[in-house]
């Protein structure tokens, strides 16, 4: 019994190493397969959009990252970003209503400014403030100068009212996605004072849920400290929701305009872009006035000489009336004057008769 028991007990013990070896090989295979599956999923699945996740639009705009997605008034969050223009000056704001109403829906007094480093990255602490509009709220980062670039990240201000978003206009919600350009050049007529003309090209994106069909823009031109004068222009085309399009609008200044001008584009009551335009002086006009100042005196002088030549006496007529002739029998050399033919009293050779003489 004891020997049998020992043999039976020894039999499973002897079998265990073989079972353990098979189980270890299977475990290694399963582990390898799991690691491979994780690697594939990491490459295929998009990154999470929870707290601290990067926010990037489909058009390759800069990345924005928040340390927290919810905080109350009086707290602070850390905003980091990358993909911005190097050394760009940026503003950080907390805005309500997803910033549909523009900067009027942002807590502008509690905003912060930051300058991107040489690699286009930044890190800045932003105090949490309640915007003037209800949530849903966003942290809005935008460039101040140079090429326009913006990025938004969803953020919840704890304790702040929440209201449905206002209905978007039928024309969608357009924003500028790239630096505007003024295409064209001045011709010969512009050099002589004709109105300078250019074509404003702007790449816009529709952030709304409705397509923008034949949107009506306003173009304004200003010079110096004067306010821009706006003119409505309708762009023929459609910008689908979530898509982009290039808008081309003509710009024209007054005749003879020169100097530094600013071209502004406004849509839905919001200024989208401001593009400087340096207009050269029409030197053809200056040349025209210089030539005119030389031609007119010369013409007046020639007309005056012609009048004098017509009203003065002719040489032949003067010579015939006075009988004055030259030694060769021709007319006198000075027809306006008649030589004195009477004998001069100062050259007489007769001596006066003395008193008492015969």
Asked if 265 contacts 217 with a C-beta cutoff of 8 angstroms, the reply is yes
Class of residue 178 by CB neighbours under 10 A (exposed 0-12, middle 13-18, buried 19+): middle
pLDDT of the residue at 287: 74
* DSSP assignment of 208-257: SSS-EESPEEEEEEEETTSPPEEEEEE--SEE-TT-EEEEEEEEE--TT-
The Cα 210–Cα 174 span in angstroms is: 11
pLDDT of the residue at 165: 78
The Cα 258–Cα 56 span in angstroms is: 42
**Overall residue count recorded for the chain in this entry:** 358
Q: What percent of the chain is modeled with pLDDT above 90? A: 26
| pTM for the full predicted model | 0.42
Tell me what the mean pLDDT of segment 47-55 comes to.
38
Asked whether residue 148 carries a pLDDT value surpassing 60, the answer given is: yes
The Cα 116–Cα 142 span in angstroms is: 12
pLDDT of the residue at 168: 56
Class of residue 8 by CB neighbours under 10 A (exposed 0-12, middle 13-18, buried 19+): exposed
Asked if 130 contacts 123 with a C-beta cutoff of 8 angstroms, the reply is no
pLDDT of the residue at 128: 95
Question: pLDDT-based confidence at 2, cuts 50/70/90?
Answer: very low
pLDDT of the residue at 13: 40
Q: What percent of the chain is modeled with pLDDT above 70? A: 67
Name the average pLDDT for the chain. Answer: 75
List pLDDT tens digits, range 293-314: 888 888 888 888 888 888 877 6
Q: Which residue has the higher pLDDT, 82 or 208?
A: 82
List pLDDT tens digits, range 132-144: 999 999 999 988 8
Tell me what the mean pLDDT of segment 266-295 comes to.
80
Strand order across the beta sheet in which 270-279 lies: 229-234, 216-223, 259-267, 270-279
């Amino acid at each position: 019994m004891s020997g049998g028991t020992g043999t039976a007990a020894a039999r499973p013990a002897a079998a265990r190493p073989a079972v353990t070896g098979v189980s270890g090989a299977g475990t290694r295979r399963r582990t390898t397969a799991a690691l491979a599956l994780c690697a594939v999923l990491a490459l295929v699945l998009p990154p999470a959009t929870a707290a601290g996740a990067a926010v990037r639009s489909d058009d390759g705009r800069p990345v924005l990252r928040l340390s927290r997605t919810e905080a109350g008034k009086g707290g602070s969050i850390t905003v980091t970003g990358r993909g911005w223009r190097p050394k760009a000056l940026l503003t950080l704001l907390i805005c309500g209503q997803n910033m549909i109403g523009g900067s009027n829906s942002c807590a502008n007094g509690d905003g912060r400014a930051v300058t991107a480093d040489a690699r286009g990255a930044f890190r800045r602490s932003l105090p949490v403030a309640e915007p003037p509009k209800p949530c849903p709220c966003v942290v809005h980062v935008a460039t101040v100068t140079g090429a326009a670039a913006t990025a938004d990240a969803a953020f919840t201000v704890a304790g702040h009212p929440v209201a449905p978003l206002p209905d978007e206009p039928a024309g969608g919600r357009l924003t500028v996605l790239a630096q505007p350009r003024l295409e064209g050049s001045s011709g010969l007529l512009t050099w002589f004072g004709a109105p300078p003309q250019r074509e404003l090209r702007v790449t816009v994106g529709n952030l709304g849920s409705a397509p923008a069909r034949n949107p009506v823009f306003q173009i304004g031109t200003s010079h110096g400290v004067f306010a821009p004068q706006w003119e409505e222009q309708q762009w023929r085309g459609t910008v689908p929701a979530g898509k982009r399009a290039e808008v081309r609008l003509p710009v024209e200044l007054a005749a003879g305009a020169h100097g530094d001008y600013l071209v502004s584009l406004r849509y839905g009551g919001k200024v989208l872009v401001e593009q400087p335009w340096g207009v050269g002086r029409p030197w053809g006009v200056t040349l025209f006035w210089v030539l005119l100042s030389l031609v007119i005196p010369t013409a007046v002088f020639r007309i005056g000489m012609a009048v004098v030549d017509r009203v003065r006496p002719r040489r032949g007529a003067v010579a015939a009336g006075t009988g004055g002739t030259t030694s060769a029998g021709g007319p006198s050399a000075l027809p306006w004057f008649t030589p004195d033919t009477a004998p001069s009293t100062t050259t007489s050779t007769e001596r006066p008769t003395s008193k008492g003489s015969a």
